[in-house]
Amino acid sequence: MHNLPNLITRRRLLWAVPVVIVAAAGLGAAAMMQPPPADLDLSLMKSTDHGHYVASVEPGLSPIVTGTIHGWIVEIKTPDGKPVEHAEISISGGMPQHGHGLPTEPKVTAELGRGRYQVEGMKFNMPGWWTVNVAVKGPAGPDTATFNLIL
Ligand SMILES: [Cu+2]
């Protein structure tokens, strides 16, 4: 005769493997689909973190759709509203809940005058909560502003 208890144990183990795989996949998917924080500041104009500038962004696509490369205009002013010319602007960003950055490396391609800068190469490759960091090096020193987007 077969060793019956041993057979039952094996069958249980065979069951357990797919159950564990499905559970792990489910947890992974749940992490990817977390809702964004309810209190996100979605404004497109704000003071930089140390108050040296006021930064605003104007996405060239409205609404922004995923997967399309497009341009943004970034505008930098002093806290009292004067345009900041000849600043060095760099853009970074990503998805805080997914742990990845932007899929592209956006760059300033032109200074448009009156504190406005053309940024090209913006792209968001999936829906969810994105942050876009605008780093400014200007006469008042370096400073950054972080904008939130929900796609
Ligand atoms: Cu993502």
Calculate how far, in angstroms, residue 28's C-alpha sits from the geometric centre of ligand 1: 12
Calculate how far, in angstroms, residue 1's C-alpha sits from the geometric centre of ligand 1: 56
Cβ pair 123, 82 in contact under 8 A: no
- 1 lies in the same domain as 55: no
- 6 lies in the same domain as 28: yes
User: Does 38 fall in a domain?
Assistant: no
At 44, the pLDDT band (50, 70, 90 cuts) reads very high
Calculate how far, in angstroms, residue 117's C-alpha sits from the geometric centre of ligand 1: 27
Calculate how far, in angstroms, residue 121's C-alpha sits from the geometric centre of ligand 1: 18
Calculate how far, in angstroms, residue 96's C-alpha sits from the geometric centre of ligand 1: 8
Select from 83, 94, 58 the least CA-distant residue to 136: 83
- 69 lies in the same domain as 11: no
Using CA atoms of 50, 53, 58, 64 in order, give the dihedral in degrees to the nearest 10: -10
Per-residue pLDDT at 14 exceeds 90: no
Which region, left, alpha or beta, applies to residue 63 given φ > 0 means left and ψ of -120 to 50 means alpha? Answer: beta
User: Does 11 fall in a domain?
Assistant: yes
User: Does 106 fall in a domain?
Assistant: yes
- 21 lies in the same domain as 52: no
- 49 lies in the same domain as 92: yes
3-state secondary structure of 115: coil
Calculate how far, in angstroms, residue 128's C-alpha sits from the geometric centre of ligand 1: 7
Per-residue pLDDT at 5 exceeds 60: no
Q: Give the count of domains, the chain.
A: 2
pLDDT for 16 equals 59
- 106 lies in the same domain as 57: yes
User: Does 39 fall in a domain?
Assistant: no
pLDDT for 103 equals 98
Calculate how far, in angstroms, residue 56's C-alpha sits from the geometric centre of ligand 1: 24
User: Does 133 fall in a domain?
Assistant: yes
At 2, the pLDDT band (50, 70, 90 cuts) reads low
- 55 lies in the same domain as 129: yes
Return the CATH number at 111.
2.60.40.1940
Domain containing residue 86: 45-150
Calculate how far, in angstroms, residue 94's C-alpha sits from the geometric centre of ligand 1: 8
Rg (CA), the chain: 24
Q: What is the pTM of this model?
A: 0.80
Calculate how far, in angstroms, residue 33's C-alpha sits from the geometric centre of ligand 1: 9
